[in-house]
Amino acid sequence: MSLLAKALAKRQPETGPQRIEGGFQADTGLMLRRLLGTAGLCLAMAAGVWLWPQLQWLDLNPPEALQPKVPQQVQEGSAPALRMREPAIVADPFFLARQQLPAAPKATTQPAPQAIHYTGHFYATEPALRWVKFNGHKLHQGDSWEQIQVLEIGPESTKVKLSGKVLWLNALTNWPVQNQAS
């Protein structure tokens, strides 16, 4: 016999509610609680029915002494329209002069390549893995070399900026570019 079985065998039966026929237990406390709850609800409803007519004579509006004083014109809706304040100075010239950005420094001019030899093109769904190879230089999206800037690499073409002009180059197609800055 296990220890648990021995402990359960030694345990004394607890006194509990009396058993009645049909297997139900008589719980007199539950019956009393239900009876008192129902009686309390009935009393509350009766009190409400009796008090409601008694409270009808109460005036729930505050007396005039406690109401805020509003000018007669505003009450009638004939008050003049309110004007919005306008600034005396529309724009401060000193402030506007400070807001202008200084001129950007001039970029160093590099000669444009005479020809673009498109020798490699790799497109991936992840933009960081895309690359193209121009004149033997591997460039990723956003990189630049000489005056070639790779703006976007597509599955079959590449968008580049060459000497300020935006071009779409078909993949692996050499482009002889004429240098117009002679």
* CATH number of the domain where residue 154 is located: 2.30.30
d(CA 116, CA 179): 11
Query: Do the domain assignments include residue 159?
Result: yes
Total count of domains within the chain: 1
Residue with tokens 């800055």: 181
Contact 17, 26 (CB under 8 A): yes
Per-residue pLDDT of the chain (182 residues; tens, 9 = 90+): 677 777 777 765 655 556 565 555 666 677 788 888 899 888 988 888 877 777 666 666 766 766 677 666 554 555 555 666 666 556 666 655 555 555 655 655 555 556 777 788 888 888 888 999 888 889 998 898 888 888 998 888 888 888 788 888 887 776 664 444 44
In a domain, 141, yes or no: yes
User: Quick check: helix, strand or coil at residue 123?
Assistant: coil
The residue segments making up the domain with residue 144 are 115-174
Is 33 domain-assigned?
A: no
State the residue for tokens 């607890």.
14
**110 touches 160 (CB < 8 A):** no
Residue 179, domain member (yes or no):
no
164 is written with which tokens?
């300020």
Asked whether residue 77 is domain-assigned, the answer is no
Terminal Cα distance for the chain, rounded: 108
Please say whether the beta carbons of 130 and 124 come within 8 A.
yes
